[in-house]
């Protein structure tokens, strides 16, 4: 059985990726900077990616066949910019350095970047050759991570993924779609949002982790891939679907405090490059994802 090491396994994506890889027959080893619930199907390590010595020790011990690096500060509006850059850039460098120092090279190292690096691109759909134009610190930190990772591509089989927006049951209500679903689930009378006209390419987390697994099993390295559905939905679309799903019709208010100064207005991607490598993975319709989130109970 191949061994997969997932950093950030305690996060939203890490949880689903661990299940995807375990089901596919991998032995899953998890790293997290926060306490991890015991799991009978995997070994877990409490480790911050800023701890270089511990990273080397763990990688030397585990000798993973594949590595997926998800550990990051992924909330765009996170208020500790210093921590964001240290975790997303320096933390990633520490991991790559630790892999080299462990003297065991995995067959694949998958690094999660973000489609936020494209900013307000004037082309739609956005493919991988569109120039980066990051519009916030989170996006800059991810683009910086990509440039840093290039320094290691002659020594490690690195693949970079740029996921567009995705969601699913269990995502924190700090994020927009879970916040909306939560309000409808509680039948809250008022829902305050920012710009209602933004358009995003929303995927289901289950489709995203399936694509990650298929990429790990491909022979690709040194490449960058969008991970997206290729369909754009406005927040008004999301609200209409949630009204149909729930039978609830709250008052929608635009709160100026929620309107970001550097808002990316449209972000819709092309998955053609990825599809050519792993095959076309059927997208889960947004309505199905929202229905799943609405019905889900913790």
Q: What is the CATH number of the domain that holds 116?
A: 3.40.50.720
pLDDT tens readout for residues 81-117? 999 999 999 999 999 999 999 999 999 999 999 999 9
Within a domain: 105: yes
What is d(CA 72, CA 8) in angstroms, rounded to the nearest whole number? 7
Q: What pLDDT, on a 0 to 100 scale, did the predictor assign at position 43?
A: 79
Beta-carbon-side half-sphere exposure of residue 275 (alpha carbons within 13 Å):
12
Within a domain: 163: yes
Q: Mark whether 138 is an active-site residue.
A: yes
Q: Give the residue numbers spanning the domain of 69.
A: 3-168+204-229+269-281
Contact 24, 213 (CB under 8 A): yes
Within a domain: 9: yes
Which residues does residue 79 pair with via DSSP β-bridges, in sequence order?
A: none
pLDDT tens readout for residues 46-94? 999 999 999 999 999 999 999 999 999 876 666 789 999 999 999 999 9
Within a domain: 133: yes
Helices marked H in 153-216? 176-185, 205-216
What is d(CA 103, CA 156) in angstroms, rounded to the nearest whole number? 11
Within a domain: 181: no
Q: What pLDDT, on a 0 to 100 scale, did the predictor assign at position 265?
A: 82
Within a domain: 67: yes
Within a domain: 43: yes
Query: What is the number of structural domains in the chain?
Result: 1
Model's pTM, two decimal places?
0.94
Helices marked H in 28-122? 52-62, 81-85, 91-101
Catalytic residue among 85, 118, 138, 212: 138
Within a domain: 237: no
């Amino acid at each position: 059985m191949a061994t997969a090491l997932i950093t950030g396994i305690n996060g939203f994506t890490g949880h689903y990726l661990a299940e995807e890889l375990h089901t596919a027959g991998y032995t899953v080893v998890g790293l997290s900077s926060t306490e991890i619930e015991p799991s009978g199907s995997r070994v877990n390590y409490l480790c911050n990616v800023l701890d270089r010595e511990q990273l080397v020790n763990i990688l030397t011990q585990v000798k993973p066949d594949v590595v997926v690096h998800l550990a990051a500060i992924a909330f765009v509006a996170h208020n500790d910019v210093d921590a964001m850059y240290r975790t997303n850039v320096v933390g990633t460098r520490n991991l790559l350095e630790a892999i080299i120092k462990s003297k065991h090279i995995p067959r694949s190292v998958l690094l999660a970047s973000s489609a936020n690096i494209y900013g307000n691109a004037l082309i739609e759909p956005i493919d991988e050759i569109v120039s980066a134009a990051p519009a916030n610190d989170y996006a800059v930190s991810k683009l910086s991570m990509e440039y840093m990772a290039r320094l290691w591509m002659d020594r490690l089989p690195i693949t970079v993924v740029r996921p567009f927006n995705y969601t699913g049951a269990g995502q924190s209500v700090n994020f927009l779609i879970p916040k909306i679903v939560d309000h409808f689930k509680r039948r809250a009378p008022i829902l305050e949002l920012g710009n209602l006209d933004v358009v995003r390419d929303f995927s289901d987390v289950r489709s995203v982790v399936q694509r990650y697994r298929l990429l790990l099993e491909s022979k690709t390295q040194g490449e960058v891939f969008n991970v997206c559905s290729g369909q754009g939905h406005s927040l008004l679309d999301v609200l209409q679907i949630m009204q149909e799903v729930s039978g609830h019709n709250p008052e929608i208010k635009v709160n100026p405090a929620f309107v970001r100064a550097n808002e990316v207005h449209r972000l819709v991607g092309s998955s053609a490059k990825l599809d050519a490598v792993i095959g076309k993975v059927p997208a889960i319709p947004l309505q199905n994802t929202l229905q799943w989130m609405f019905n889900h109970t913790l």
